[in-house]
Structure 1
Amino acid sequence: MSPVSRRTFLRGSGLAAAGLATGALPSVFAAPSPAAGAAGDAAAPVLLNFNECPLGPCPAAQEAVRAILPRGGRYQFGLVPELAGEFARQHDLPVDHVEVYAGSSDPLNRAALAFTGPGRPLVLPDPTFEAVADTASGQGASVHRVPLRADGSHDVRAMAAAEPGAGLVYVCNPNNPTGSVTARAELDWLLANKPAGSVLLVDEAYIEYTHERSMLDQVRADAEVVVLRTFSKIYGMAGLRLGLALGRPDLLAKLAAFGSNPLPVTALAAGLASLRDPGMVPARRQANAAVREQTIAWLQARGYPCLPSQANCFVVDVGTDGKEFAAAMAAHGVVIGRAWPVWPTRVRVTVGTAGEMARFREVFAQVAPARSAAA
């Protein structure tokens, strides 16, 4: 979608489902987004394609951005250690194990540059978030893709055995596009049994949507692991760009070796306000889960299987060409995610507000007939 179309959507999100029964849902997702602004644009597309949070930044973060704008002509370097210190305090980490970036894609790509190359392959699940593979292959590293298990979890034993000389092993937990979770014991096993000399990169972009235990305690223990966090998902700051890399100082130094750039003061201010809002993450987690599970149950009752998800996205098997199906949905004003080469009939759907998901169901019913649940 064009930037203009996306801005139009933000003005009208959550409104297309008027009159559709959605059940009792937490008000944070049942109500229009704080970013929705003026109501009434029935033609606005429903964007369920980029795993964005439809609520945008929390009110405290929005106020922090407004407050700091008059000082936006200066770099405000002190905000970086303040944010790193706040995260370190909340997670009982040494502050030198925390590095702040403009989103988590930046350190993700830096990890590929630092730890892969000719003779240092990358191992990752398939399907997953592919940016790390693109960067690694672009600098001559071979990429070994290991199929996910049937339940969407990582096959950690196959990953550990895939490339004895691997430089980097990538895990996204919960995984993108599936939203599926790999049990913490499995990740601990992978860390203990990965190829000697390799680094385990754990992308926790969606961890706040779950009650799963983070790998940050392994960072605290100075293991050969780098954990990534982002404010783009549950914190609703995808367009503001703020993320973190967590690891031993020597591992973080390898990421930092590729240069630095001052960070946007608006993102830093919003991130600090978000971290200091203790009720936001639990409320959004609960609301997202309610809307997600309602939608998945509806799809499965119509005969369209979905993998279990604990994130703000899921995959559904539409039983036909996924690209064509997504195009048909878009023609009716609901933009969903893509299919993956390994799963051509499965498409990813981002979880929106209750109203947006009601519109999704309405259009899905138009595009895809109900099938036997056993089909």
Structure 2
Amino acid sequence: MDFQKFCSSTSFSRRNFLRSAGIASAAMSVPAFAQQAAQPTPAGQAAAAGGYGRRGGDMGEFRPLPPDTVIISSNENPLGPAGSALAAMMPAAKKGGRYDKEYMPATIQTISEQFGLPYGPGKTPFVRLYPGSGGPLDMALMSNISPDKPLVCGDPTYEQGPRAAATMKTKAIMVPLDKTTWKYDVKAMLAAHPSPGAYYIVNPNNPTGTITPREDILWLIQNKPAGSVVIVDEAYFHFSNQESVIDQVAAGKDVIVLRTFSKIYGMAGVRAGFAFGRPDLLAKFETVTASDRQLGSISLIAAAMAHASLTDKDLVPLRRKINRDTLDDTLSFLEKHNYKYIPGSQANMFMVDVNRPGREVQAAMLQEKVAIGRVWPALPTYVRVTVGTPVEMKAFQTAFLKVMNGPSQPTAAHLEMLNHIPHEIYRA
């Protein structure tokens, strides 16, 4: 591998950009660079600087966690934006005094060309670019469900689906994942209701990281009742080896696919995401009332960075390998110490069984200054852990052994602090 090229195109961390400038020309292996980029607990430092912890479900009150806390709770990418994206940022910023007539169209054209979607004069695009994928996900869900058209989800799954159902005053029908493969049970989902408004599939799934095979999703698309829509959230897709279902959008099926730049592209704070769908399905987004959806145009800078990331051919495979190597190392640690975890993760997260209420372990880990992910009602003794840097995962291993081998008696203060652990529920 040409490491100079790697440094210039894919590997700069947003948290270490200035510091990394002095080491970018060093000839190191990818794993060595990942170690270098991880010095020490940058997520915790960023959290403290920005008041990162927040009250659960409240976007108003922020409370910082201790400055040296390792934060592996939000499914963020610790590498930050790619060097190619950072290089595109300054030229775009110089044009920031004018409304963007350059970067957003170029980004939409690029992604349309990559997936064979209609684009050009006289053609209505099959994709829209947004400031993150959280807003368009809400609109995709809310524009297709109603009190008499419920939402069918997996269980456990990303909570934005059930929350959208609650907003629309309809049921979220929770269908358990297959307990052998931990994939979505699409046949059970189809049987759950005769005429739902939408089926919601996160692939790879959050929180389990597991994959639902493309052929299963195609089966659901082909067999679903007329008028319902299959919504596929591919936020973590790039970490997997799965084939996307965006081709079903090009084929004109009742499918909406969401993508984000927050995960493998490392742009959670930059805010960029796509919604793919037939023009009539995307037009329905506008039927969602303003109070129920996140609105706003993507910034010129975010569009420029997104475009640069899409055209950086080395970015995805290199970052997929870094994530996979770190994940495999952590899972080997769990196996060595006889801890059970949900197998088959193809994302930047995993779930481990702690054989006690998960919130107790989450709070006890916070006492050791390691913030891990939340607990899902369907799996109350499991905790979710984000894959951080190798240094952060070693800190996780040390803290986890201490917590699991000792009495789990977190203080009331640390139990209350669980409300301030950052998470991706309001994700870009």
TM-score (norm 2): 0.77
Alpha-carbon deviations, 1:340-362, whole Å to 9, x = none? Answer: 01111101100011111111111
Aligned counterparts of 1:214 and 1:336: Cα–Cα separation in 2: 29
2:251 is equivalent to residue 213 of structure 1? no
Identity of aligned residues (%): 42
* SS, match of residue 306 in structure 1: coil
Residues 31 and 152 of structure 1: CA distance in aligned 2, closer, same or farther (over 3 Å): farther
Residues 35 and 345 of structure 1: CA distance in aligned 2, closer, same or farther (over 3 Å): closer
**Structure 2 partner of 1:353:** 389
Bigger drift between 169-178 and 96-105 goes to 96-105
Aligned counterparts of 2:317 and 2:113: Cα–Cα separation in 1: 19
Alpha-carbon deviations, 1:311-342, whole Å to 9, x = none? Answer: 00111111111111011111111100011011
Aligned counterparts of 2:353 and 2:85: Cα–Cα separation in 1: 37
**Structure 2 partner of 1:31:** 36
2:51 is equivalent to residue 46 of structure 1? no
- Match 1:85 to one of 96, 104, 109: 109
Question: By how many angstroms is 1:239 displaced?
Answer: 0.7
Aligned counterparts of 1:74 and 1:293: Cα–Cα separation in 2: 46
Residues 39 and 66 of structure 1: CA distance in aligned 2, closer, same or farther (over 3 Å): farther
* SS, match of residue 297 in structure 2: coil
* SS, match of residue 188 in structure 1: helix
**Structure 2 partner of 1:314:** 350
Question: By how many angstroms is 1:73 displaced?
Answer: 2.9
Alpha-carbon deviations, 1:248-303, whole Å to 9, x = none? Answer: 11111112444963211221111011111110100000110111011012112212
Residues 40 and 232 of structure 1: CA distance in aligned 2, closer, same or farther (over 3 Å): closer
Residues 49 and 39 of structure 1: CA distance in aligned 2, closer, same or farther (over 3 Å): closer
**Structure 2 partner of 1:94:** 118
* SS, match of residue 68 in structure 2: coil
- Match 1:106 to one of 135, 143, 148: 135
2:313 is equivalent to residue 283 of structure 1? no
Bigger drift between 30-39 and 139-148 goes to 30-39
Aligned counterparts of 2:234 and 2:373: Cα–Cα separation in 1: 20
2:162 is equivalent to residue 133 of structure 1? yes
Aligned counterparts of 2:108 and 2:323: Cα–Cα separation in 1: 27
- Give 2:259's aligned amino acid: R
**Structure 2 partner of 1:157:** 187
Aligned counterparts of 1:321 and 1:260: Cα–Cα separation in 2: 38
2:107·2:303 contact (CA, 8 Å) conserved in 1? yes
2:38·2:392 contact (CA, 8 Å) conserved in 1? no
Aligned length: 351
2:370 is equivalent to residue 334 of structure 1? yes
Residues 36 and 44 of structure 1: CA distance in aligned 2, closer, same or farther (over 3 Å): closer
- Give 1:81's aligned amino acid: P
Over the aligned positions, Cα root-mean-square deviation in angstroms equals: 2.5
2:277 is equivalent to residue 247 of structure 1? yes
Question: By how many angstroms is 1:32 displaced?
Answer: 1.1
Structure 2 unpaired stretches of 5+: 1-13, 18-28, 47-65, 120-124, 289-293, 407-428
- Match 1:262 to one of 285, 297, 311: 297
Aligned counterparts of 2:32 and 2:118: Cα–Cα separation in 1: 37
Question: By how many angstroms is 1:87 displaced?
Answer: 0.7
- Give 2:383's aligned amino acid: V
Aligned counterparts of 2:204 and 2:174: Cα–Cα separation in 1: 17
* SS, match of residue 65 in structure 1: helix
Aligned counterparts of 2:88 and 2:302: Cα–Cα separation in 1: 9
**Structure 1 partner of 2:80:** 56
Alpha-carbon deviations, 1:69-115, whole Å to 9, x = none? Answer: 23223221332211110111122222311111111111110012210
Aligned counterparts of 1:28 and 1:326: Cα–Cα separation in 2: 30
2:328 is equivalent to residue 293 of structure 1? yes
2:152·2:192 contact (CA, 8 Å) conserved in 1? yes
Alpha-carbon deviations, 1:218-270, whole Å to 9, x = none? Answer: 11111110011000100000111100011111111112444963211221111
**Structure 1 partner of 2:89:** 65
Bigger drift between 95-104 and 64-73 goes to 64-73
Aligned counterparts of 2:43 and 2:331: Cα–Cα separation in 1: 30
Alpha-carbon deviations, 1:27-83, whole Å to 9, x = none? Answer: 453331599889999962111001000000001111222232232232213322111
2:359·2:374 contact (CA, 8 Å) conserved in 1? yes
Question: By how many angstroms is 1:306 displaced?
Answer: 1.2
**Structure 1 partner of 2:24:** none
TM-score (norm 1): 0.88
Residues 35 and 111 of structure 1: CA distance in aligned 2, closer, same or farther (over 3 Å): farther
* SS, match of residue 30 in structure 1: helix
- Give 1:187's aligned amino acid: I
